[in-house]
Chains A and B, each alone.
Chain A
Amino acid sequence: MSTRPLAQTDRSLFQAIAVVRWLTWGWAAIGLAISTEHLAHGGSGYGLMALALAFTVLATVLLPTNPERLATVPLIVTELAIGALMLLGDGWVYLDSRPQSLPWAWPSAGLIACGIVFGRRWAVVAAIGLSIASFVGEGLNEGGTSNWGVSASSKAGLYILTALVAGYVARRLREAELEISAARAREEVAVQLHDGVLQTLAVVQRRSDDPELVALAHDQDRDLRDFLAGSTSAQPGLTASLRAAAALYERRHDGRAEVVIADDIAEPAADVIAAVAGAVGEALANAGKHSGGDKVVVYAEPDEDAASGTGLFVSIKDNGVGFDVETVEESIGMRDSIKARIDAIGGRVEVASRPGRGTEVRLWAP
């Protein structure tokens, strides 16, 4: 493995492991101290504890000075080997009956490190290795504890669980860190665009006498704002499709379409979005063809009267000539494309208009 610099997440994880090493070593030391009368080969016990202590100290010293080394194969293998030796030596150190097991907790620190650096799979392999060492160690001590198999099995289970959890948690933490840094980068881009490009586009629209240049700047301005809104909005589906319908209207007709969406709308189901966006597109096309106006507002908000709690209200209002709803028959576009779409999802449509006061199409979706 390379010695790439450690990411912040890994650094904090290694700090946590250092604490685990000290705590588990202390635990093992206390266990040893209170069971000295059961020791068969005390020297080996002290030797193993010294080995574990040496590694614990080394890892602690490396943490501030050279933390990358902690994530390398030799160090992790050494730690796992010391752990395995302790588990193997357990039976030899005590030989007969004893109330304590020397080392079961300390090796788990090495497992966690292995899981963090090499992932779940290698950690499970290491856990199986430690479990075998534990079975052999407990087996040597057969005379001592009658249920050594149970004890070794529960340790094996614990090690494998530790390995799985360590690998999983490390991966999720890294993913979270990536997501956060990606979001931060996007926000920085958004700020840059706000302060720079959007300002420039606004100046161009204000200062240029060339209508084509103004139109181009307006398009770019809208696309960029849509992009910025989309990158922060939790509901790209509805927002994006309504904005797309508005953009189409602006391209085809000489007018502006303002899309206003309340930001507490629950994202509707895909079929509702498709039906609403289609109906809005049709209503905008009608406004472009028949209203004679040059501005349309598309507005969407949660329908608070809806029983479902996820209802949606959408209106499309132009500033055109309007018509008398009583006397003018429904156009084909109105009947087929708007009503049919909204009927299909169980919603309803109303049209309000008066001569000289523009036209408003209102949609309620369940």
Chain B
Amino acid sequence: MGSLKAVRVVIADDHPIWRSGVRSDLGENFDVVGEAGDGDEAINVIRETEPDLVLCDLNMPNGGGLKVATECGEMTRVVMLTVSQAERDLLDAVSAGACGYLLKSTPPDELRTELWKAAHGEPVFSPSLAALVLTEFRRISKAEAPGEALSAREREVLQHVARGHTYKEIGEELFIAEKTVENHVRNILAKLHLNRKNELMRYAIEHGID
């Protein structure tokens, strides 16, 4: 089983003490193959080591998490680590290709569980991220901006995540498989990603940027 192999991780954060702290928290199921102290360095290290998972601080010198998610979001799974969910860049980072985020104060066991799931393809969707995404889709539908709206089922799933239900609980309540719930969440992320891309393109066209 491939999933039993240790997850190859790159940790990017401008505080060395933080990197060493996370490294010791990750334990034996994770293999830290590279570290970086800023955005550019992180992108280089990720390209060299091709890790399964990247843990990336949102605020770093030289680009930060947003740049890393934009550059590497398609080749590996990028999880944002942040000190506060009130950061405006968070939704941008997730729209740009990060598969989720965790608060830096998340206890070690929860951190390990969530990262293990992230490494195996599950989006790390905390309630507050789900709330951010729901708000974003409400904004789009209110502004009647062209963009992909959520289906009724996707909205329902996202609302359950925001309310703190696990995928398993959501599946039971909506009478669908847990895997289907995960697929819904992935589709929501894809729509968010697409909408943001279209918005950027529209902005560029409206402002005459090629």
Name A's B-contacting residues (CB within 8 A): 194-195, 198-199, 201-203, 205-207, 218, 221, 225, 228-229, 232, 258, 260-264, 295-297, 299, 301-302, 304, 315, 317, 319, 354, 357-358, 360
Q: Does B203 contact A (CB under 8 A)?
A: no
Complex: A229 Cα to B83 Cα, angstroms: 12
Over the window 140-178 of chain B, the binary record of Cβ atoms lying under 8 Å from chain A Cβ atoms (1 yes, 0 no) is: 000000000000000000010011111001001000000
| Residues of chain B within 8 A of A225, CB atoms compared | 83-84, 86
Is A202 a contact partner of B135 (Cβ separation < 8 A)? no
Is A301 a contact partner of B134 (Cβ separation < 8 A)? yes
| Residues of chain A within 8 A of B45, CB atoms compared | none
Complex: A297 Cα to B126 Cα, angstroms: 10
| Residues of chain B within 8 A of A302, CB atoms compared | 138
Complex: A182 Cα to B70 Cα, angstroms: 34
Is A207 a contact partner of B21 (Cβ separation < 8 A)? yes
Is B59 a contact partner of A195 (Cβ separation < 8 A)? yes
Neighbour of A203 across the interface among B18, B86, B107, B135, CB < 8 A: B18
Q: Select from chain B the residue with minimum beta-carbon distance to A256.
A: B107
Is B15 a contact partner of A258 (Cβ separation < 8 A)? no
Over the window 80-104 of chain B, the binary record of Cβ atoms lying under 8 Å from chain A Cβ atoms (1 yes, 0 no) is: 0001101100000000000000001
Q: Select from chain A the residue with minimum beta-carbon distance to B142.
A: A264
On whether A262 and B131 interact (CB within 8 A), knowing A206-B25, A360-B163, the answer reads yes
Known contacts A299-B163, A358-B169; 16 additional CB pairs below 8 A are: A194-B84, A203-B21, A205-B107, A206-B21, A218-B105, A229-B84, A260-B131, A261-B131, A262-B138, A297-B127, A297-B163, A301-B159, A304-B138, A315-B163, A315-B164, A317-B164
Question: Which parts of B97-144 form the interface with A (CB within 8 Å)?
Answer: 104-105, 107-108, 126-128, 130-131, 134-135, 138-139
Is A258 a contact partner of B17 (Cβ separation < 8 A)? no
